[in-house]
Structure formats: structure tokens, C-alpha cells
């Protein structure tokens, strides 16, 4: 009888442990007061409980223009995350965004409410060195097939180096960066080409085709 009670207690504890592990996460996002025009903003979110193997993302778009894109957020401990969307263009006056937790297959486990934030000239955002580095090495995820091969609608190319298509396959960005040369290495490329020649070398960076048409909100 005692053994039966012990087994019963063990089973209950195991069920409780499994239930706690399987508890659905919740994600709360802090709405940014503003996003700088032609510069990067920062979005913060909190996830509880955190799920092993899951990724927290910011989904974003130029408000009422096309499908969402996403960037992965960076964990800072205690369930806190930050993420940096690309720089809004001058014509982009408002961005729409939300935070979401996705499993390795891309299934959404939890998402926050959507938010709208104005893009303003006088918005000021302070970044840590890590955030500044991330802003200049962005990986942009696509959510629909027509986004592939086009620039990010309503956002500048600055800082975008990698894309992930709607099937989850990463690739170098083929639109914003035909050839990326760090600014500190520019002299290494320009000076040897012009030394003793008296000519001027021009380096062109292709911004790709213009913005895709702007479908209305479904």
C-alpha cells in the first residue's frame, strides 16, 4: 500500500512538472514612443516562461503597406529581449509591429498585441555598442514569397546584410548590398586604384528596384 502511495505521488509530481514545462509562454511588448526617421529604433519585450529552442521576434511593417517582415530579438536575461527593425524611409510615417515567440518550425507559440509608433525627425534613441553593431548587421525575415528579391518596403537598405525567405532559408541580401566594403577599409580599395593615375574611382552601391506596390490592408 505504501509503495502504491509513493508511485501515486511520483506520478502526480511528474504530471505537474510536465504541465509546467508545457505551459504556454506569454509575451509583453513595450510600445516605443517614437522611431527615428532614417535611423534605427529599439523595441523591448518580455517573455514568460521562456521556452527552450524557441526564438523571440519582432514582426514589423510600414503601417498598412504589405505583409510583415521580422527580425530576431536578442535575449538579455530574465526573459527580457530587445530587437532592432531597419531604418524607416522619409515617406514612412508610422510602423506597425508586434513581438512573437516561435518554435524551430516557425509556429507561433505566443504574440503580443500590435502597436503603432510614429516615425519622427526629432526622435532620439541611445544604443549600446552591441545594439549599434546589431543595427548595422541586420537579418530581415520575409513572411510571404513576393517579398523575395525586393527591398524591404518602406525601409532603407542601411544595415541590412542578410535575408531569410518565407520558407526559413537564409541568404545574403541581393538587393541592398551588391558589394559591401567597410568604411574603415575604403582607402585600401580606393588609393591603390588611383595612385599615380590621376583618375577618380567611384564605388556604386545598388539600392535595387524601387518599392513594391503597396497593397491595402486585408
Is the pLDDT reported for residue 9 higher than 80?
Answer: no
Domains and CATH numbers, the chain: 23-177 (2.60.40.10)
| pLDDT mean across residues, the chain | 82
| All cell numbers assigned to 125 | 534613441
Quickly count: other Cβ atoms within 10 Å of residue 136's Cβ: 14
Q: Where are the beta strands (DSSP E) in 8-107?
A: 26-30, 35-36, 43-48, 55-62, 69-72, 74-77, 80-83, 94-102
Among the listed ranges 13-27, 90-104, 117-131, 152-166, which one has the minimum average pLDDT value? 13-27
Angle at alpha carbon of residue 198, lines to 197 and 202, rounded to 5°:
95
Q: Where are the beta strands (DSSP E) in the chain?
A: 26-30, 35-36, 43-48, 55-62, 69-72, 74-77, 80-83, 94-102, 108-111, 115-120, 138-142, 160-164, 170-172
Is the pLDDT reported for residue 42 higher than 90?
Answer: yes
Rg from Cα positions in the chain: 22
- Stretch 73-88: mean pLDDT: 97
Say how far apart CA 173 and CA 163 lie, in whole Å.
Answer: 5
Amino acid at each position: 500500500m505504501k509503495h502504491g502511495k509513493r508511485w501515486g505521488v511520483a506520478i502526480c509530481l511528474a504530471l505537474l512538472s510536465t504541465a509546467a514545462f508545457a505551459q504556454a509562454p506569454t509575451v509583453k511588448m513595450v510600445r516605443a514612443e517614437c522611431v527615428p526617421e532614417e535611423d534605427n529604433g529599439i523595441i523591448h519585450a518580455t517573455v514568460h516562461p521562456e521556452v527552450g529552442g524557441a526564438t523571440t521576434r519582432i514582426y514589423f511593417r510600414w503601417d498598412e503597406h504589405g505583409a510583415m517582415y521580422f527580425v530576431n530579438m536578442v535575449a538579455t536575461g530574465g526573459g527580457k529581449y530587445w530587437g532592432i527593425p531597419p531604418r524607416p524611409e522619409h515617406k514612412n510615417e508610422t510602423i506597425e509591429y508586434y513581438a512573437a515567440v516561435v518554435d524551430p518550425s516557425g509556429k507561433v507559440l505566443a504574440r503580443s498585441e500590435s502597436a503603432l509608433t510614429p516615425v519622427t525627425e526629432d526622435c532620439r534613441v541611445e544604443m549600446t555598442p552591441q545594439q549599434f553593431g546589431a543595427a548595422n548587421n541586420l537579418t530581415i525575415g520575409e513572411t510571404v514569397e513576393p517579398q523575395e528579391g525586393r527591398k524591404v518596403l518602406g525601409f532603407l537598405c542601411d544595415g541590412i546584410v542578410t535575408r531569410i525567405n518565407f520558407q526559413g532559408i537564409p541568404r545574403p541580401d541581393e538587393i541592398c548590398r551588391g558589394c559591401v566594403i567597410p568604411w574603415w577599409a575604403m582607402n585600401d580599395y580606393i588609393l591603390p586604384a588611383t595612385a599615380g593615375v590621376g583618375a577618380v574611382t567611384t564605388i556604386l552601391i545598388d539600392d535595387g528596384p524601387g518599392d513594391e506596390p503597396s497593397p491595402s490592408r486585408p
